[in-house]
Every structure is written in C-alpha cells, then in structure tokens.
Amino acid sequence: MPSIESEIEQVETFSKSKVVAITLNHEMMSDAEIKETIDEYEKNLGLPTTDVLKFGCDKIVTCLMGVFPILQKSITSKPK
C-alpha cells in the first residue's frame, strides 16, 4: 500500500493543487486505530485529518473556510 506522503504527492502533481486536509476510509480499522491515525497524520503532516463518517465534517469545513475565505463570504451574504 502506498504511503500517505506518496498519495499526497500524486494528488498534488495530477491536480496541480495543494492538499489541505485528509479524510480517512476507516474500513477494516478499529476506533482506536482511526484515532491513532488521525493524531499521527495531524502531527506528522500538519494537515487537519478526520473520518467524516465517524466524526463528522466540521474539521474539514473549518479548514476549507480558512483556505478559501470567499466560501464564508458567500454563505453569509446569501439572502434569507
């Protein structure tokens, strides 16, 4: 299985974009392994990491709002 670093490199190379966050596929992982992997990736890669199905998407949304502030502006400026 490729390393997370090589996966990030491939995504960045082919998409010509920067990886700003990581989501996990928890298949075949225990809850303890999921939490350990999240902690490891955040510490070693400095990227927000979560398992969206287990922990929701708040961390990723917050990251995206920081990277793309126009998203926040478009949300707050929509008519009600």
* Consecutive 10-residue averages of pLDDT for the chain (80 residues): 93 96 96 97 97 96 92 69
Asked whether 21 and 59 are in contact (CB, 8 A), the reply is yes
Backbone dihedral angles phi then psi of residue 75, each to the nearest 5 degrees = -70, -45
Which tokens sit at 66? 């920081």
Whole-number pLDDT of residue 54: 95
| Distance from C-alpha of 43 to C-alpha of 48, rounded to nearest angstrom | 9
Whole-number pLDDT of residue 80: 58
Tell me which residue has tokens 């999921």.
Answer: 34
Tell me which residue has tokens 């974009």.
Answer: 17
Residue 51 DSSP code = -
